[in-house]
Structure 1
């Protein structure tokens, strides 16, 4: 994804960086530490490799994550958050907190327990 010529405000640009179903989830997972492509595929239910690679490329292009390749066979690659990625993760944590509150208000305690958000 490339920057557009015009933006209404800086928030619109940030939205372009994080929009989509998978990017916030990818950032959340990488907030736990460096991960390989296969780890991300395992941990993110429902994403296919093609979509994951596309989303990772866009996050790389915006400097939100970085990719480290290791020599040898088989090829090993790890993804991690940059400083900018850590800043975005703070916003995602706040959004997740709101989601937890809404799920509690709607009696979705089983889901929250199953996913380890509450005891």
Structure 2
């Protein structure tokens, strides 16, 4: 089936859209992680949703899944070169969001950013 995007940015958003995908990408930006490690870093995500989001990112060639031939099997996830190329974009989005929240706070709105750590979006 042919997929049509009205704007090129829609293709980018198609890949990163999802409640947890940006958090996953940020955490993987700090290094390879196993599924359990990712879950501990993201309280509130279910195993099912984490697996789905990782599979979608892997299908988009943004995340690499490496299975080690061990018993029990060990699986690690890392950013692919395509995933690493998203860093600049995601860092700019993070900076933009930080400014937006600051403006809203100055206007008296009750809004905050729970996790200010965007190191995973920065180049290592």
Question: Match for 2:82 among 78, 81, 84?
Answer: 84
TM-score, length-normalised on structure 1?
0.82
Partner of 2:31: 33
RMSD: 2.1
SS at match of 1:40: helix
Partner of 2:121: none
Query: Whose relative contact order is higher, 1 or 2, with alpha carbons under 8 Å and at least 6 apart?
Result: 2
Q: Which runs of 5+ in 1 are unaligned?
A: none
Asked whether 1:66 is paired with 2:51, we answer no
TM-score, length-normalised on structure 2?
0.79
Question: Match for 1:100 among 70, 77, 98?
Answer: 98
Q: Which runs of 4+ in 1 moved over 3 A?
A: 102-105, 114-117
Q: Which runs of 5+ in 2 are unaligned?
A: 107-111, 118-124
> Measured at CA, do residues 116 and 27 of structure 1 come closer, stay the same or move farther in structure 2, by a change above 3 Å?
closer
Inter-partner Cα distance in structure 1 for 2:25 and 2:58: 11
Q: Could you tell me how far 1:87 is from its partner in structure 2?
A: 1.3
Question: How many aligned residue pairs are there?
Answer: 112
Inter-partner Cα distance in structure 1 for 2:43 and 2:85: 24
